[in-house]
Chain A
Amino acid sequence: MTTLHIKNGHLIDPANGIDGLQDLFIADGKVLAVGAAPAGFVAGTTFDAAGLVVSPGLVDLSARLREPGYEYKATLESELQAALQGGVTSLVCPPDTDPVLDEPGLVEMLKYRAKTQDKAHVHPLGALTMGLKGQSLTEMAELTEAGCIGFAQAEEPIEDTTVLLRAMQYANTFGYTVWLRPQDPHIGRGGIAHSGPLASRLGLSGVPVMSETIALHTIFELMRASRARVHLCRISSAAGLELIRAAKAEGLPVTCDVGVHHVHLTDADIGFFDPNARVTPPFRSQRDRDAIRAGLFDGTVDAMCSDHTPVDDDEKLLPFGEASPGATGLELLLSLALKWADDYALAQPQAGARPLARAVAKVTADAARVAGIPAGSLAIGEAADICVFDPAARWTVSSSSLASQGKHTPFLGYELSGVVKATIVAGRVAFQR
């Protein structure tokens, strides 16, 4: 029986309401006890977490691993290593690989490859329609058996509303969650920046907010008709969040996430056409960014994810409109979540706002709940997937400090707080700094 004792750490486990100095005892890859050592416990390994935070391993609701098909951009090996260095122990990957994850065999292969890496747990999303083409349904039951935790269209909105309705009805038959990025199939499709005065000045084709809100209206109508559970991906606007708030109040079974970069950046961060700021959805106005921050605080936004999208130099160092959209994120998720805590949550007047615990919740327990996976909790008997980090230590985002093959993020060159000191997967110290 392998045992691990993490001592002297500040344990933050929002799923179980823990936020204080507590030791953690692990045996055979599972949490054995919290607080006091169980009788007869002998620590095979002891980890001194004095001055550090001990939390559940991060749960990332969107990370592109680029396998299968895009190995020239990144590989499972490099990206799962990046996950470990970012403290991420469970991640969800979208189905827009090559080939698309619409066949059980592909999903099995991916799960197998990920397992042999023995790093983070990989939970794939299956394609909602074959080839993501929006025409015929995928074998959702087979794909779920192969390991898919939900079904998505990635960046390919379904043009035929009837198909979307049928897909949602079919998914609901089995209780599967449909993960949808709300974007109109036509309005703003060629756009590369938020429709607004800045895009007008810079001469960049715009993606109007209504691309998101029109799609949200459609999705909510279809939800009322189909009763399907939907998770909305990468909300970008204040208006979109308003609609989601109302939908939740109405009782629709909907959750949503935001990309962690969008918690901090606006269209002004495009600066002088910096291709690192070319992302989808685009960074919107200050009002939208502020609504995202507030939405995280009041629960309208259920989780933050990295939306990790490795893009290589050849596809990024191009004029803004030609650059491939996307930013690297696995290794920034923790720091940017903590930055939200510092910049926003800390300033909220509510007594006991507990910004650190709130931030951790948004990338652990809340994210796990959305995905419906057993993660983000350090209750007794749960898998010992743990992140140990120093919230005060600072690091500089650079090509060399990033393990991912994706080296592009608007935060390149920035100094951020929050350094992962150790990542433990199933009780084994998989990464240590």
Chain B
Amino acid sequence: MLNPQLNKHGELQHLLTIEGLPKSIVNHILDTASSFVGISDRDVKKVPLMRGKSVFNLFFENSTRTRTTFEIASKRLSADVINLNIQASSASKGESLLDTIDNLSAMHADMFVVRHAQSGAPYLIAKHLIDTKQPHVHVVNAGDGRHAHPTQGLLDMYTIRHYKKDFTNLTVAIVGDILHSRVARSDIHALTTLGVPEVRAIGPHTLLPGGLDQMGVRTFTNMDEGLKGVDVIIMLRLQNERMSGALLPSAQEYFKSYGLTPERLALAKPDAIVMHPGPMNRGVEIDSAVADGPQAVILPQVTFGIAVRMAVMSILAGNQG
């Protein structure tokens, strides 16, 4: 089956995952994003690129933050935004996912921004749109299960490029629950695509998935070892469910071995940057002193996130399949 993300001209038709995207497309998105960053400083914080287009935010998994940033990005492109919060339970009582898509397409949706608890859900939608010959409708994956969160991966890359310029001489560490993290997977694919020579995953064995070496990642269970000489630290959020699934005993013990404290940060390069996809669990994965410190670039990530999402959506909207 041909990669459903690219149309027959090799252009981006849907953004489902960073894995398998040509480096040129990743760079195009980052370059376009830099043009969008300045728009927030203007009087009129909009460009007319998606005027008259309807963007449907289909969130099967709750997320006010991500949905809000997509909404802001859409509105800055002058698109109309409709938010649909479909809780998983109501979907199982009622319409199937594809029926929902068909109904919304009949209302002339131009773009679906989809977040779903199941890995692969956006692919089902993209394949359905291809099968029903709707080349003008695009899907943006806003996070599917554990599989991918491509816009987060892209904005993380934008952030790294902003502060570090050259990917090809960096050491990047991703810390935390890699097993359950779609952000980690997208970051790993983006980093390896952009030529980062050393990507490290740091966490306890229970939170490290198998097969990381095949993805080009060096694993560390000792955080002090893993942070030595690192240029970029990406901290992942630890969810409460991990304690109930017998994966970890407690948040306190986790912080003791894997929390990013100022002492641990000092093991990295002196100009290392600290990133976090948010929302942060202060005192669980990251110390407040670090989160609020000069090396943290967590708030700029949010700003860049809007520009990156504007770039993704406008590039997709311009490709007709």
- Name the distance in Å between A412's Cβ and chain B's nearest Cβ: 12
- Subset of 8 A-B contacts with CB under 8 Å: A195-B210, A200-B209, A200-B215, A203-B148, A271-B1, A319-B121, A320-B118, A321-B118
Q: Which A187-216 residues sit within 8 Å CB-CB of chain B?
A: 195-206
CB of B19 within 8 Å of the partner chain:
yes
Which one of B119, B182, B209 contacts A321 once the chains associate, using CB atoms below 8 Å?
B119
Please count the residue pairs between chain A and chain B whose beta carbons lie under 8 angstroms apart in the complex. 74
Tell me if A's interface is mostly helix, strand, loop or mixed: loop
Instruction: Please give me the residue from chain A that is nearest to B118 by CB atom.
Output: A319
- B135-146 interface bits toward A, Cβ cutoff 8 Å, 1 = contact, 0 = none: 000000000111
Q: Which B163-216 residues sit within 8 Å CB-CB of chain A?
A: 182, 185, 209-212, 214-215
Q: How many residues of A contact B (CB 8 A)?
A: 24
Q: Which A235-275 residues sit within 8 Å CB-CB of chain B?
A: 271-275
Q: Which B117-154 residues sit within 8 Å CB-CB of chain A?
A: 118-121, 123-124, 127, 144-148
User: How far is A198 from B96 in the complex, measured between Cα atoms in Å?
Assistant: 27
Which one of A199, A201, A317 contacts B215 once the chains associate, using CB atoms below 8 Å?
A201
Determine the chain B residues whose CB is within 8 A of the CB of A273 once the complex forms.
119-120, 123-124
Determine the chain B residues whose CB is within 8 A of the CB of A314 once the complex forms.
96
Given A196-B210, A275-B124, A318-B96, A201 and B118 contact (CB-CB distance below 8 Å): no
Instruction: Please give me the residue from chain A that is nearest to B3 by CB atom.
Output: A272
Interface centre among A195, A205, A314, A321 (most CB of B within 10 A): A321
Determine the chain B residues whose CB is within 8 A of the CB of A322 once the complex forms.
118
Determine the chain B residues whose CB is within 8 A of the CB of A203 once the complex forms.
119, 144-148, 182, 185
CB atoms of B119 and A198 under 8 A apart: no
User: How far is A275 from B98 in the complex, measured between Cα atoms in Å?
Assistant: 13
User: How far is A314 from B118 in the complex, measured between Cα atoms in Å?
Assistant: 16
Q: Top 8 nearest A-B pairs by Cβ distance?
A: A273-B120, A197-B211, A203-B146, A203-B147, A319-B118, A319-B121, A200-B211, A203-B119
User: How far is A274 from B119 in the complex, measured between Cα atoms in Å?
Assistant: 11
Instruction: Please give me the residue from chain A that is nearest to B185 by CB atom.
Output: A203
CB atoms of A319 and B210 under 8 A apart: no
User: How far is A333 from B145 in the complex, measured between Cα atoms in Å?
Assistant: 35
- Name the distance in Å between A430's Cβ and chain B's nearest Cβ: 37
User: How far is A275 from B127 in the complex, measured between Cα atoms in Å?
Assistant: 12
Determine the chain B residues whose CB is within 8 A of the CB of A200 once the complex forms.
209-212, 215
Instruction: Please give me the residue from chain B that is nearest to A317 by CB atom.
Output: B98
Given A195-B210, A314-B96, A318-B96, A201 and B120 contact (CB-CB distance below 8 Å): no
Interface centre among B4, B144, B211, B212 (most CB of A within 10 A): B211
CB of B251 within 8 Å of the partner chain:
no
Determine the chain A residues whose CB is within 8 A of the CB of B124 once the complex forms.
273, 275, 317-319
Determine the chain A residues whose CB is within 8 A of the CB of B97 once the complex forms.
318-319
CB atoms of A201 and B185 under 8 A apart: yes
Determine the chain B residues whose CB is within 8 A of the CB of A198 once the complex forms.
211
Q: Which A102-144 residues sit within 8 Å CB-CB of chain B?
A: none
- Name the distance in Å between A20's Cβ and chain B's nearest Cβ: 43
Given A196-B211, A198-B211, A320 and B98 contact (CB-CB distance below 8 Å): no
Determine the chain A residues whose CB is within 8 A of the CB of B145 once the complex forms.
203-204, 319, 321
Instruction: Please give me the residue from chain B that is nearest to A199 by CB atom.
Output: B211
CB of B116 within 8 Å of the partner chain:
yes
User: How far is A197 from B145 in the complex, measured between Cα atoms in Å?
Assistant: 17
Given contacts A203-B144, A319-B116, A319-B144, 10 further A-B contacts (CB under 8 A): A201-B211, A201-B214, A203-B185, A271-B1, A273-B119, A273-B120, A273-B124, A318-B97, A319-B121, A322-B118
- Name the distance in Å between A199's Cβ and chain B's nearest Cβ: 8
User: How far is A272 from B122 in the complex, measured between Cα atoms in Å?
Assistant: 10
User: How far is A273 from B3 in the complex, measured between Cα atoms in Å?
Assistant: 12
- Name the distance in Å between A186's Cβ and chain B's nearest Cβ: 11
Determine the chain A residues whose CB is within 8 A of the CB of B96 once the complex forms.
314, 317-318
CB atoms of A272 and B185 under 8 A apart: no
User: How far is A321 from B116 in the complex, measured between Cα atoms in Å?
Assistant: 11
CB atoms of A202 and B212 under 8 A apart: no
Instruction: Please give me the residue from chain A that is nearest to B116 by CB atom.
Output: A319
Determine the chain B residues whose CB is within 8 A of the CB of A196 once the complex forms.
210-211
Determine the chain A residues whose CB is within 8 A of the CB of B1 once the complex forms.
271-272, 274
User: How far is A205 from B180 in the complex, measured between Cα atoms in Å?
Assistant: 9
Determine the chain B residues whose CB is within 8 A of the CB of A199 once the complex forms.
211
User: How far is A409 from B3 in the complex, measured between Cα atoms in Å?
Assistant: 21
User: How far is A281 from B231 in the complex, measured between Cα atoms in Å?
Assistant: 43
Determine the chain B residues whose CB is within 8 A of the CB of A195 once the complex forms.
210
User: How far is A419 from B127 in the complex, measured between Cα atoms in Å?
Assistant: 31
- Name the distance in Å between B245's Cβ and chain A's nearest Cβ: 10
Interface centre among B116, B120, B144, B145 (most CB of A within 10 A): B120
CB atoms of B127 and A204 under 8 A apart: no
- Name the distance in Å between A206's Cβ and chain B's nearest Cβ: 8
- A316-330 interface bits toward B, Cβ cutoff 8 Å, 1 = contact, 0 = none: 011111100000000
- Name the distance in Å between A133's Cβ and chain B's nearest Cβ: 25
Q: Which A268-302 residues sit within 8 Å CB-CB of chain B?
A: 271-275
User: How far is A199 from B124 in the complex, measured between Cα atoms in Å?
Assistant: 17
Q: Which B88-128 residues sit within 8 Å CB-CB of chain A?
A: 96-98, 116, 118-121, 123-124, 127
Determine the chain A residues whose CB is within 8 A of the CB of B127 once the complex forms.
272
User: How far is A196 from B147 in the complex, measured between Cα atoms in Å?
Assistant: 14
CB atoms of A197 and B119 under 8 A apart: no
User: How far is A201 from B119 in the complex, measured between Cα atoms in Å?
Assistant: 10
Instruction: Please give me the residue from chain B that is nearest to A195 by CB atom.
Output: B210
